[in-house]
Structure 1
């Protein structure tokens, strides 16, 4: 006769275990997105402290590149820790990833700036970002697999949706902390050292998460596989060396994760940068608006996760991808109108056009900080407009023609710097800047959005639309990825497409998007990146992505 200690757990005990599993797994996602969003929120401060000596636009893009470096290495972390997770186990693997990720974030709070240790500062920052990204490469896959393998049949979408929900909590926590610090500190103090506090605070999140995870048991699916001797001895070879599974990896990447990544980034980080850099909304207000919208849409993650258990993962995710194709451009245009109506009115009333020969125009991005963009009249014009965040169109002029700028009906000649020495070019740049500023002011182009004119309700509604689309693709995603792959190579197989999608395709979206804006002068140009990828995912997903919500995940 079985003893009392061998009795199966009661319903209450089972639910308590399931809650602990969800909380312990999801806290890692809170941490991941807390760190991720900090780099986005504090890009300007990081640019100031670690990328000194370059112009403002270049420094900001370099800060975004440091931010994106952590994403670049995530797929390699997926390979390393995915393999360990399939061989050694889910629990111990994401204990290690959590520790590496947390300590790398914490260390940024104490890293000296460029003014103290020179070039070593950005190098160390990049190393910390790479370590953090490497660890995250194994974090999400472990959490998704661990929760899904504990979930009762028919509830995997609902249970794993809490992982996605806590991603938003990480964003909100980071945003709230930064907004709060900005509110109680003057701008100089915050930029001097206040920005370090959120990174230092991360040690609290790390301690709580590790404490909870140490109390968890191994996944029951992995325990059964291990007891039966059915674990994989070579998960990388099985996952990517056999076409049968590699084909599913590619379908998962291009038919699900890629679209999820760009739609997700178009819902939180890209709008934040867009509001600050393009619409010229002050940082505190932009953070408040984005954080408010994210808070409002959090329940949608759970709703769409639950709904995907009823009707399937695929129809919800593909619907979001198709809708995104048609709403991004009009909604981002409406976002400018709501956030900075004076700018929107000026663009309509007095559009700006650069008339220049394309061969004389440089790409307005300088990765080494040595280009002053003052060698041609086109460069002088575009450099000023890029820094001022002014939307402009381009008209081709004959070769040898000095550039001019049209602001409405006014034609502003641009000085030709050819033949001038450095001092003469500097004077030409200053002369044009003063003249352009006068004409833009006269045309109604504001330097900054007027806080009193920001239609906060309308901005939040638009941001909520972006957010709901993100929850439609992200809420069911973890369950879909777990169900796509066999248990013995699940951790490895799903981690790679997830982190290629979110690390490379999504993680580089802000950098690529704003580089596209700088290159063309069109403030909406960067949206083509998201629209094109969402379109690819819609096509591949509709044609090739299988429905998975009724699958047996122990197979």
Structure 2
């Protein structure tokens, strides 16, 4: 009977661990669906709807500027929600961030354009985009810990990749909806009202995400911290005061992945339509195929990083992303859709090899009691120098020179930053892990906790 009870408890623990993985991946996918449809709309629709008095290039730059606002506002979410993740728990902050981003996205779908509101329209768009960025800035750190703190730290690469795989899932859903609308509607209908449908659908998706997250209690690791009285009172001050090296290492390592993602999922759309002559639906198909491949590549890369040195694998993938950024522009010049798909898929594959192990690597840089704050600050602060400026810089380099030659140079600088971050980072502290890990510290207690909220 005792053996059967132990097996049952272990089975329950695994089921809740899988549920936590699904909650992290699903919730983050919904967040990134909302964020990604804004990114695509900024490239295809917003220059005409919200900035109609500008020439096409200036309109694109202005639209990407509002895209950047979503990154610039992330540190607000990192400071506020990251801190709450270490003080009141991971689950509560994830529910709040999901509600915020769902509400702002829905309102963007209802927002009248420049023709109706004049200058108030782009101002309102910036305000809503700012709120979106705040929510995303607080989401990531908590989502990483939600999945990874329910399992064995030796499998953190795979478990933490739940938050990472949500990005391509959300990107795939967003591009799929927009591509479908672009196919079934005329250009005039799509620009006039069709793009709004994708934004309004967020209400349904967010409701589903909240249902999943509300079914979980907080992580066993956070419960252990609470019981031991080791929760920090001022986690932001502690991170900046005692773990600055971890913060710098994490920020630097995110730069190349963020910029690579912006190149192949955002700027490739603009480049494909304006320079290579593809239709918007054709380029969206390329991004969709790449995003679908990432759903497999990202967790596989996370799992592989559990078996090899995580930093070394990350570094090799960073070098590969730089080389592929050159290969991409070479192979797409003849206007072949097949080669465009190959180029985007290859670029997002290298992004996955960096992105899969990234969440585990960043969370391991910080002590357990400061991980929500530290991880959230890394995610939000790195976005300002990485993903926020990337589409703007890509567009500027391309329009200023009329060539793609300088874009790989930009990727090379980003790769050098990431490799520097990996060099100053640390490997996991297994002694600290064993002290807090629910599976290594008190398996029976963990199973009991799991059974309590089955």
TM-score scaled to structure 2, two decimals? 0.90
Q: Among 459, 467, 474, which residue is 2:340 paired with?
A: 459
Residue 269 of structure 1 and its aligned partner are, at CA, apart by: 2.0
2:451 matched residue in structure 1: none
Using the alignment, how far apart are the partners of 1:221 and 1:9 within structure 2? 21
Q: Among 286, 289, 293, which residue is 2:286 paired with?
A: 289
Residue 503 of structure 1 and its aligned partner are, at CA, apart by: 4.4
Q: How does 1:475-514 map to 2 (within 5 A)?
A: 475-514=356-395
Q: Among 418, 427, 446, which residue is 1:547 paired with?
A: 427
Using the alignment, how far apart are the partners of 1:495 and 1:520 within structure 2? 37
1:235 matched residue in structure 2: 235
4+ runs deviating over 6 angstroms? none
- Answer yes or no: is 1:137 the counterpart of 2:18: no
2:33 matched residue in structure 1: 34
Residue 32 of structure 1 and its aligned partner are, at CA, apart by: 2.5
List alignment gaps of at least 5 residues for structure 1: 341-453
1:468 matched residue in structure 2: 349
Residue 546 of structure 1 and its aligned partner are, at CA, apart by: 2.0
Q: Are the equivalent residues in 1 in contact too, given 2:25–2:162 (CA < 8 A)?
A: yes
Aligned residues: 432
2:189 matched residue in structure 1: 189
Decide whether aligned partners of structure 1 residues 551 and 38 sit closer, same or farther in structure 2, where only a CA change above 3 A counts: farther
List alignment gaps of at least 5 residues for structure 2: 437-454
Using the alignment, how far apart are the partners of 1:57 and 1:154 within structure 2? 49
Using the alignment, how far apart are the partners of 1:91 and 1:326 within structure 2? 40
Using the alignment, how far apart are the partners of 1:549 and 1:259 within structure 2? 25
Using the alignment, how far apart are the partners of 1:134 and 1:295 within structure 2? 27
Residue 65 of structure 1 and its aligned partner are, at CA, apart by: 0.7
**SS of residue matched to 1:230:** coil
Using the alignment, how far apart are the partners of 2:319 and 2:98 within structure 1? 35
- Answer yes or no: is 1:319 the counterpart of 2:316: yes
RMSD: 2.0
2:18 matched residue in structure 1: 19
Using the alignment, how far apart are the partners of 2:191 and 2:171 within structure 1? 20
Using the alignment, how far apart are the partners of 1:464 and 1:279 within structure 2? 17
Residue 549 of structure 1 and its aligned partner are, at CA, apart by: 8.0
**SS of residue matched to 1:492:** helix
1:379 matched residue in structure 2: none
1:399 matched residue in structure 2: none
After superposition, what is the alpha-carbon deviation per residue over 1:178-201, rounded to whole angstroms, capped at 9, x for unaligned?
111111111111111111000000
Residue 109 of structure 1 and its aligned partner are, at CA, apart by: 0.8
Deviates more, 1:509-518 or 1:291-300: 291-300
- Answer yes or no: is 1:300 the counterpart of 2:297: yes
Q: Among 244, 251, 254, which residue is 1:253 paired with?
A: 251
Using the alignment, how far apart are the partners of 2:162 and 2:221 within structure 1? 20
Using the alignment, how far apart are the partners of 2:310 and 2:431 within structure 1? 12
2:173 matched residue in structure 1: 173
1:527 matched residue in structure 2: 408
**Larger relative helix fraction:** 2
**SS of residue matched to 2:348:** helix
Residue 316 of structure 1 and its aligned partner are, at CA, apart by: 1.2
1:537 matched residue in structure 2: 418
Residue 161 of structure 1 and its aligned partner are, at CA, apart by: 1.7
Larger Rg: 1
**SS of residue matched to 1:109:** helix
2:78 matched residue in structure 1: 78
After superposition, what is the alpha-carbon deviation per residue over 1:523-544, rounded to whole angstroms, capped at 9, x for unaligned?
3333322221112222442x32
Q: Are the equivalent residues in 1 in contact too, given 2:293–2:349 (CA < 8 A)?
A: no
